[in-house]
Amino acid sequence: MSRAIDLFLAYLRDQKGYSEHTVRNYRIDLGQFLAFLAAGPEGTRLEDGDPLEVEAVNALVVRQYLGSLYGRLKRSSIARKLSALRSLFRFLEREEWIKGSPAAEIAAPKLEKFIPGYLPVDDMFRLLKRPDQKVPLGLRDLALLEVLYSCGIRAQELEGMNLSSIDFDQRLIRVMGKGRRERIIPIGRQALKAVQAYLAATAHLRPGRGDPPLDSPLFINFRGGRLSTRSIGRIVGRYVKGMGLAGGISTHSMRHTFATHMLDGGADLRSVQELLGHKSLTSTQRYTHVSLDRLMAVYDKAHPRS
């Protein structure tokens, strides 16, 4: 089973083009399943075969594993781990390691309705005023917040941006999303202005002399290295905490805020789907609930019988 997982992870990385972040999450989830097997779950006793052999894993074992997670993890986390197992066994079925997936017929847990956290416009504008624009790293933090809010990109996508990722003349950015899908997104004038001020103020932090290479990272730390996803999260969290806002506002909340404000401003769902890089419109529809007040106002104004 350990070798099967290694081959599957290599397939995700080398053939599917998944990011290191995504592959790492698969490795963690599947590693936990491997640890469960190594403990010798009931139904895979040694006399029936080695529990770490792929052939020893049946639907009963998968159900027992998922059952062991209830009470310890959220349903969404359990559903993610089941999804990882399904992907693994589909791969093994295609590679003819097994004849059928033991996870294929197992239903995912019913998920709680997820209401994305987001900031109202006034709070978002207050957040953008928090960084100290008198120091280089304050200008970096402002540019970081402006790009997240202006473009609705993920923290991992922000981490991967290089100097060549921004077209200042066309007001566009290029990011590499999930599954290595590239997309082009408009960027607002205020965000561009913040990025330009940041680049001018931090030129001395970048290695070498003269103009830095275009493939160098856009957002850097105080040593001149690429700013990591974790560091981006800490920066956002620090400013959120400084405002005294309720917990739960993260880098992903900036993405929710972008989508919510776009819909409230009259953008159609399909356009927001393209900007966010969602494969399915269902993913984007999570944001429609926050626009009900606007929809009610439109209804009351437009419908003859309202």
Q: Which residues are catalytic?
A: 154, 178, 252, 255, 278, 287
Neighbouring C-beta atoms of residue 278, cutoff 10 Å: 17
Task: List Cα–Cα distances, 227 to 22, 128, 248, 260, in angstroms.
Answer: 18, 19, 22, 27
Q: Given CA atoms 243, 248, 250, 256 in this order, what sign does their dihedral have?
A: negative
Give me the sign of the Cα torsion angle 211, 176, 253, 260.
Answer: positive
DSSP letter, residue 31? H
Is residue 254 packed enough to be buried (19+ CB in 10 Å), middle (13-18) or exposed (0-12)?
buried
Cβ atoms of residues 274 and 259 within 8 Å: no
Contact between 21 and 178 (Cβ < 8 Å): no
Cα distance between residue 243 and residue 191, in whole Å: 21
DSSP state of 247: T
Residues in contact with 292: Cβ distance below 8 Å, sequence separation at least 6, in sequence order: none
DSSP string, 173-242: EEEE-GGG-EEEEE--HHHHHHHHHHHHHTGGGSSSSSSPPTTSBSSB-TTSSBPPHHHHHHHHHHHHHH
Nearest to 73 by CA among 19, 38, 16, 112: 112
| Helix, strand or coil, per DSSP, at residue 130 | coil
Tokens of 108: 């995912």
Residues in Cβ contact with 115 at an 8 Å cutoff, skipping those fewer than 6 apart: 286, 289
